[in-house]
Structure formats: C-alpha cells, structure tokens
Structure 1
C-alpha cells in the first residue's frame, strides 16, 4: 500500500523539496509513497483569490479564512477520506515519535500549512483537524514543519531504510535519547573509541549502550527522563493492582 501525502499550502513549489532526494526521494520514485500538493488559493471565490483577512478585534498580520480552509480540507478528504488532517501550528501539541509511527502505519496524511498569523480558530470546531507543532519555535509558515513530519513518516515505511533495526534503535523510540556512535579511525586528535565498543563482546556493548542512553537522557533531557519514570511507575502500579484483583 502506498503512503499518500497531501499538503494544503500557499506555496506548493516548496514540495517535494528535500523529500525529492536521498531515501525519501528514492522511495517516492519507487512508489513507496505519493505526494499531492493542493494550492489553498484555488478555493478562493473572489477575483483576487483572497485567502486571508484582518484579525477580529484588531492587531497585526492577517488570518487565514475558515471558509477557504474548509473548502481545501473537504477537497482533500474527498480524495483521502481515511487520512487524518494535521494543521501545522505552534499552538498545537508537539508531535511525538509515537504519533509519527501511527501515521506511518496508516494510509497517509493530509498536512495543512499555515501562514501569516495562522488559522481562524473556527476551522478546528468545524472540521476534524489535529493541531500539531514541531517544537517550541515559530516558523514563517507550516511548510518546513510539514516537510519534517513527512520525512519522519517516510523513513519508517517498509523497505525505505536498509536495516530494519535502524528505525528502532534511535532517539525517542524507547523514551530515551539514542546512545552515542563512533567509527573509524579508532583514534582522532587523541580521542579514542570506548574500549567496550572494540571488545567484540555484544552483551557488554548492549549494556554500555543502554546505560549511555539512560545517562544522556537524564542529563540532557530531564523532561523525557521524568516522563519515562512516570510511565514505568504507572505501569508497575497497574500491574500490582491487577495482581491484587486476581488474588495473586
């Protein structure tokens, strides 16, 4: 099954962009995924093809109109009724690797790219749209975020990456940052590869990598470490409650 991506944007010329090269580009040419860009301006009804207007209540910038957005979303839904619609907005929930895996396992995704001051809020009440953000940053538009989300999905599609384990032993897959990597030469500017990685002892190597993942996550991303600890505690608590309920 081909993963079908639809991008609703005022700048369709930005796609496929970097997704047309390397792994994603090869997968696109081989038919592992497809890309359809939709010009939001095509759904404007006036002769100037107006898609935005001034903010209600005053203020700087312009806001994308809900009727135009709804027409574009409806058009995409007619073509891909099973695909979720994600709006790129800094007001959305941060996208996670778990959500990326869910998207990659599905039929595809429709990405709505904002510009100016963003979307008329009524579009989220009038249409089933998931608000997501890439990070706690503000971009000039949703297109760079859409490219990043699509890249994250495409690399997980069957056959896109060479090694099956490449998509598993990575940062965020287990709630941890990935362990550090090394390669030849064995010594560079007086810095050597850790001895355990040259030992050939796979059990020790696995233990070292797990420990480094945990240490680096705790030091660099205490927020991830805290969430991981909370999830473990909740799971253990649930298991204990279940044991008691069964009289064990």
Structure 2
C-alpha cells in the first residue's frame, strides 16, 4: 500500500510513522507513507496557500491552486483508489471503513487547515470525506495519522499475529472483553478461573458473553 498525505505542516506527521507498528510496516516494505508539503506547489511568491473568504467572514481558506497541482502531479504518476479529505462534516470513521480502505493500493489523504479548503477542491478531486468525531481539530493531520494507523495495522504481515486485528473492538460490532496477564492473583484480585482452565470452548463462550455485556453497558448503540 502507498499513502500520500497532503499537508501544510509536514513536520507534525513525522513522528507517528517512525515508531512501533507503523515503522515496522514500513521497514518490511508493506506500506509507503509519503508526506507532501502543499506549500511546495504554491505559485505565490511568498508560498502562501490560503486567502480570505469571498463574502467575508472569520478565518482563512486554503486555496485551490496548490492543492490541485499537488493532486494532479500524483495522479499523473499512478492511479488512486480514493482521495480522502479530513473534515468534521465527513462520514464518521469506523472499523468497517478501515477494513474497506485496507484493501486498496493507493490512497491520498488531504489535511484541511485554517477554515478548510476551497469548495471546488471537494467538488473536483475528493472521492471520500471522513471525520474522526464530532469535534474540530486545528488541522486534519492528526486525523490523517489516526486513519492511516487504523488502516496499516490491518495489512497482512504488519502484526506479528494476524488474528489479533480480527479480535479487536468493533470488528464484530462488539467491544473487546476484559483481558488479563500474569500474575493470576494480584493482591487478592484474581483472574477469572475460566481463563485458567485450559478449556478453550468455555473460554471462548466467556469472552463472547463478556464482550456482549461490556458493549451493552458502554456502547448499546452498537447492538442496534
């Protein structure tokens, strides 16, 4: 997989992809993450990428020219499955969306900034709009990192145990059940006996029941 991220603050995205699972995925050659500074495509002599809103109003707007030129250059080099814009008014990101995106080969993630992008960018180039929640961030960079992380960890070979991702919360519209590790008894707080029994059928039944119970208590909306 190749993910191209378009941003006006590229340094903000360096750290998330240089550690832990994402770094290992890159080292294994399972994913390429390319970060593009939109300012590099500005034809303005000061490399400005924003301007005032037509009609007045608070906040600057990202101009279409540098964004369009960057996207056009990338599209001339390869075919992209989706060009995604990070925006609070997009479809709310969930595990199902992550699963679907993980099947693609080439993705572009456009990070909004300031008040957002010129509407014509959305009309002409964007194929999918995603929000990571009902709140506003300073820019789309952190949202892009969240989405990229959730996609990359699903790629075959990224996790040491590929079944791990299949048992995560939300994969079957349930939260994960409680999990434990050693010691079995910590100051009188004990691990449930069934998990120590070695009876894998009963363990699986326990985990299913606990996943349902926890979901009903914490996220009953998922059960609908």
Length-normalised TM-score, structure 1 = 0.85
Q: Aligned pair 1:90/2:88, yes or no?
A: yes
Q: Partners of 1:223 and 1:53 in 2: how far apart?
A: 42
Q: Which residue of 2 aligns with 1:166?
A: 164
Q: Which residue of 1 aligns with 2:222?
A: 224
Of 55, 65, 68, the residue aligned with 1:70 is 68
Note closer, same or farther for the CA distance 1:57–1:189 as it changes in structure 2 (3 Å cut). Answer: farther
Structure 1 residue 197 displacement after superposition: 0.9
Q: Which residue of 2 aligns with 1:117?
A: 115
Moved more, 153-162 or 65-74: 65-74
Decide whether the 8 Å contact of 2:7 with 2:112 is kept in 1: yes
Q: Which residue of 2 aligns with 1:141?
A: 139
Q: Aligned pair 1:153/2:151, yes or no?
A: yes
Q: Which residue of 1 aligns with 2:128?
A: 130
| Unpaired segments ≥5 residues, structure 1 | 227-248
* Residues 189-200 of structure 1: pairs in structure 2 closer than 5 A: 189-200=187-198
Decide whether the 8 Å contact of 1:77 with 1:83 is kept in 2: no
Corresponding residue pairs, total: 224
Structure 1 residue 161 displacement after superposition: 0.5
Structure 1 residue 75 displacement after superposition: 2.0
Moved more, 28-37 or 121-130: 121-130
By relative contact order (CA 8 Å, sep 6+), the higher-ranking structure is 2
Decide whether the 8 Å contact of 1:175 with 1:224 is kept in 2: yes
Decide whether the 8 Å contact of 2:81 with 2:107 is kept in 1: yes
Q: Partners of 1:178 and 1:130 in 2: how far apart?
A: 29
Partner-residue secondary structure (3-state), 1:132: strand
| Unpaired segments ≥5 residues, structure 2 | none
Q: Partners of 2:56 and 2:189 in 1: how far apart?
A: 59
Length-normalised TM-score, structure 2 = 0.94
Q: Partners of 1:80 and 1:224 in 2: how far apart?
A: 38
